[in-house]
Amino acid sequence: MKQPQPISVLSFPALEPYRRDLARCVRCGVCASVCPSFLAVHQESLSARGRIALIDAVLDNRLHASAIFADRLATCTTCLACEAACPSNVPVAAIIQAAKADAVRSAGRGLISRFAAAALASNSAMRSLAWLAPIVLRYGKSGVGDPGSKISDFGAVNEKEKDPGSRGRIAFYPGCAIKYFHQDIGRSSVAVLERAGYEVIVLDDAACCGRPFLSLGDQAAARAAAERNQQHFASLGVDMVVTSCASCGLTFKQEYPEQLAPSEAVSVPVRDIHEVLAGCIPELALGTLTQQVTWHEPCHLGRGQGLAKTARTVLGSIPGIRITEMENPDRCCGFGGIMRIGHHDLSNSIGDAKANDIIKTNTQIVVTGCPGCRMQLADSLKRAGSGAVVLHTVQVVEEAMKKNECQG
């Protein structure tokens, strides 16, 4: 049998720049108190502190970068709660991501990574395989829309000439979750943006933002996705790119500048739809909705993009909406993207805790700002026996628009 070879420090080029950051971690455990994986199972190696300790040991050759090590990294939901809580400002999520990249560099792509890279790189492959997603993620079929339909079939412009009378031209980037599973969020987004006075081009054929590759530690595939999308955005002649997916928005804003050289970056700004709506609520002529809702804050919207207040302002600006706060509204729902595929039971445990917090509010409508969260919350509530409906903010805004039309 071939014996494992000692691992050189030079085998970890992605982690090497984080040595000083790792040294700042004093293992105080504050991160463990907010880590959703640890709170679900109370296992130290599944806490942010535990993962940092393992990474430090591997980097110093006190531990081999084994399959178990890689598995512990994969239990991170990338919720960023650890970074927000850390008194020493250790970039925990960035360190874990670097460790994943070095693990892939040392051991190569795994089966899931190779399959994901092949599927996500091709729109036709994704449309053909979309029906497999509920099986892979272990969600019910109700979470999947019509993979054969396109959001642009329900409105939006596609011509190159700008309308001088419009507020501006927007490229709407749906992302994989909206494009293949939650087309209703995409259609609501287009309707609301058009009502606000924008021309909207729907990027039905845009490539994946690349976040799944980052979750898998596949930096080469993530960089390729960034290059494709940046070039695509630059060719559109639009004022901005807008997305209703918090994870896609975070990837564009935070990851692309790190992956691409300044000369490769483009000047097209990317905005989350809550940022756009915050500036045009009066123009939407919203009717009154007599609804009690509770708000789940997506990790990549609040902690990731700093838009917690913005999103709440948009939701609170809808006439008649009453927000009943759940306990820990910003705690991760447990989706974690690729994390759920390999750690289904852990994902469900985190989701069960979130569903329990929602049920305690006695509301029947849950509003969130991310399609991935919507999928996870709906599944968790269904398992808990709740009939609560989960909607994206933009869907509630569109409902208020229609309400005004009926009242008029």
Q: Are residues 332 and 376 in the same domain?
A: yes
* 268 in a structural domain: yes
* 330 in a structural domain: yes
Instruction: Give the CATH number of the domain where residue 338 resides.
Output: 3.40.50
Please tell me the total count of domains within the chain: 3
Instruction: Report pLDDT digits (tens) over 209-261.
Output: 999 999 888 888 899 899 999 999 999 999 999 999 999 999 999 999 988 87
Helix (H, G, I), strand (E, B) or coil at 403: helix
Domain extent, residue 212, equals 119-277
Q: How far lies 267's CA from each of 99, 206, 223, 239, 249, in Å?
A: 31, 18, 18, 10, 15
Mean pLDDT along residues 17-32: 94
Q: What are phi and psi of 294, to 5 degrees?
A: -125, 150
pLDDT of residue 398: 97
Q: Are residues 60 and 197 in the same domain?
A: no
Helix (H, G, I), strand (E, B) or coil at 86: coil
Instruction: Report pLDDT digits (tens) over 70-96.
Output: 999 999 999 999 999 999 999 999 999
pLDDT of residue 136: 55
Sort 313 into a burial class: Cβ within 10 Å, 0-12 / 13-18 / 19+: middle
Q: Which of 232, 250, 277 is the last residue of a domain?
A: 277
Mean pLDDT along residues 168-195: 94
Q: Are residues 126 and 267 in the same domain?
A: yes
* 4 in a structural domain: no
Please name every residue paired with 171 in a beta bridge, in sequence order, or none if there are none: 201, 241
Distance CA 52, CA 32 (A): 11
Q: Are residues 141 and 256 in the same domain?
A: yes
Q: Are residues 229 and 359 in the same domain?
A: no
Distance CA 193, CA 206 (A): 19
pLDDT(275) > 70: yes
State the average pLDDT for the chain.
Answer: 87
Distance CA 245, CA 249 (A): 6
Instruction: Report pLDDT digits (tens) over 380-394.
Output: 999 999 999 999 999
